[in-house]
Amino acid sequence: MSNTITIDGQTIPFQEGQTIMDAALAAGVYIPHLCHNPEFTPHGSCKLCTVTVNGRNVASCTMPAVEGQQIANNTDELNAKRRALTQMLFVEGNHFCPFCEKSGNCNLQAVAYHLDMMSPHYNHFYPAREVDASHPDILLDRNRCILCELCVRASRDVDGKEVFGLSGRGIDCKLVVNSSSGDLVDTDLAATDKAASVCPTGAIIVKRHGFSVPIGQRIFDHKDISQVQLEAAQKERGHE
Partner 1 sequence: MSENKKIRVATCSLAGCFGCHMSLLDIDEKLLTLLELIEFDRTPLTDIKHCSPCDVGLIEGGVCNAENVHVLKEFRKNCKVLVAVGSCAITGGIPAMRNNIGLWECFQEVYQFEGGLEGGQVPNDPELPLPFDKVHPIYEVVNVDYFLPGCPPPADAIWKFLTDLLAGREPKLEYEMLHYD
Partner 2 sequence: MSQCDSPDLKQRLAPILQKHGRDPTKVLQILREIQDTAHCICGQSIDLIAEHLDLPRVRVAGVAGFYSFLAGGQACGEYRVLFSDNITDHMLGKAELMDYFSKKLWLEPGKVSEDGLVSVDSTSCTGMCDQGPAALVNGMPLTNLDENCLDLICELIRSRKPVSDWPPMLFEVQDNILRKDVLLGEAFEPGAALKATLARGPRETWAEVDKSNLRGRGGAGFKTASKWSFCHAAIAEEEGHVVCDIGDRAERIMVCNADEGEPGTFKDRVLLNSYADLVFEGMTVGARVVGARRGFLYLRGEYAYMLGKLEGVLQQRREKGLLGKNILGEQGFDFDIEIHLGAGAYICGEESALIESLEGKRGRPRNRPPFPVTHGYLGHPTVVDNVETFACAAKIALHGGEWFAAMGTGQSAGTKILSISGDCERRGIYEYPFGTTIRQILQDCGAEDPYAVQVSGPSGTTISWKEFDRMIAFEDLATAGAFMIFKRGRDLFQMARNFSHFFAHESCGFCTPCRVGTTLMQRIMDKIDGGHGTASDLEEMKNLGQLLKTMSHCGLGTSAANPVLDTLNKFPDVYEQKLKALAFEPAFDLDGALATARRITGRDDKEAHLGAES
Contact residues: partner 1, CB under 8 A: 90, 94-100, 103-104, 109, 112-113, 116, 118-121, 123-124, 126-129, 215, 221-222, 224
User: Is 52 or 226 the residue whose CB approaches partner 2 more closely?
Assistant: 52
HSE-CB at 128 with a 13 A cutoff on CA atoms is 0
Position among 17, 118, 169, 215 found at the interface with partner 2 (CB under 8 A) = 169
Q: Does 176 bind partner 2 (CB under 8 A)?
A: yes
Task: Count CB atoms within 10 A of the CB of residue 130.
Answer: 13
Position among 31, 110, 177, 196 found at the interface with partner 2 (CB under 8 A) = 177
Q: State whether residue 112 is helix, strand or coil.
A: helix
Q: Does 84 bind partner 2 (CB under 8 A)?
A: yes
Q: Which uninterrupted H or E stretch holds 225?
A: helix 225-239
Cα(154)–Cα(138) distance, integer angstroms: 15
Position among 15, 70, 75, 167 found at the interface with partner 2 (CB under 8 A) = 167
User: Is 47 or 129 the residue whose CB approaches partner 1 more closely?
Assistant: 129
Say if residues 33 and 21 touch (Cβ distance below 8 Å). yes
Judged by beta carbon distances under 5 to 8 A according to partner kind, the member of partner 1, partner 2, none in contact with residue 235 is none
User: Is 117 or 185 the residue whose CB approaches partner 1 more closely?
Assistant: 117
Judged by beta carbon distances under 5 to 8 A according to partner kind, the member of partner 1, partner 2, none in contact with residue 237 is none
The closest alpha carbon to 143, from 155, 119, 122, 126, belongs to: 126
Least distance to partner 2, CB of residue 58, Å: 10
Q: Does 129 bind partner 2 (CB under 8 A)?
A: no
Say if residues 50 and 61 touch (Cβ distance below 8 Å). no
Which residues are CB-neighbours of 179 under 8 A, at least 6 positions away? 185, 186, 187
Judged by beta carbon distances under 5 to 8 A according to partner kind, the member of partner 2, partner 1, none in contact with residue 134 is none
Cα(188)–Cα(191) distance, integer angstroms: 10
Helix axes 107-114, 225-239, angle to 10 degrees: 120
DSSP assignment letter at 64: B
Q: Which residues make up the interface to partner 2 (CB under 8 A)? A: 42-48, 50, 57, 59, 62, 64, 81, 84-85, 88-89, 91-92, 122-123, 125, 147, 162-173, 176-180, 182
